[in-house]
Amino acid sequence: MRLAERRALKETNFDLFDSVAKHPSGNSADESISLPTEDELAAIFRDFNDRHFDGKLPTAKVEWSSRMKHAGRCYYSDRIIRLGVSYHTYYPEDVTLTLKHEMIHLVIPNHGSEFKREARRIGATRYARHYPGMLRGMKYLYECPTCGETYPSRKILRLRSCGKCSNGRYDVRHKLRLVRRLDDN
């Protein structure tokens, strides 16, 4: 990757080159941020289950993952919700929003209209925010030819179209095109 491209990436906060992520406030995201313990997460889960779902959700284990780079994931068949330490160290205020989002996945596995309705009802987020740690390990950058939205990826995408332009279904008119390899020099 040329020096000019690296500078451009740094200016747009896609900081792949510093080992410590910078929060928009300018502070480094570090381990001094206090995140809830797994016992506290379990208590929050029970409270949200009672308050938003009338206690009808199946019991799930809520745990932290130091390997996960995104906000969270629900393994609904195993009844496990994992929250990413990296993301929530960067955005500690999003812990409860992510937990609500993943709780919905215990009963609705996809992000369809039913999920969106439920997310609005309980005040859950639908999308995680970007943070620099999300791009670490990404090898390719794809772009929608219609709207210009960019999609970093760890692997080659063959039949993928823009999620915003193609309404959740593959549409050849909005097929993502490879812009460049992110690890090019």
pLDDT at 18: 40
Domains of the chain and CATH, by start: 38-122 (3.30.2010.10), 137-181 (no CATH)
pLDDT at 33: 75
pTM above 0.85? no
Spatial distance between the Cα atoms of 128 and 111, rounded to a whole number of angstroms: 13
Q: What is the DSSP letter of 166?
A: T
H or E element, residue 52: helix 38-53
Q: What is the DSSP letter of 35?
A: P
pLDDT at 70: 85
For residues 144 and 163, is the Cβ–Cβ distance under 8 A?
no
Spatial distance between the Cα atoms of 162 and 142, rounded to a whole number of angstroms: 10
For 44-112, the DSSP string reads HHHHHHHHHHTT-SPP-EEEEESS--SSEEEETTTTEEEEEHHHHHH-GGGHHHHHHHHHHHTT--S-S
pLDDT in tens, 47-96: 999 999 999 999 999 999 998 888 999 998 899 999 999 889 988 999 99
Averages of pLDDT over runs of 10 residues in the chain (185 residues) are 50 41 46 84 96 95 91 92 92 94 93 92 86 72 88 87 84 92 64
pLDDT at 145: 93
pLDDT at 135: 60
pLDDT at 184: 53
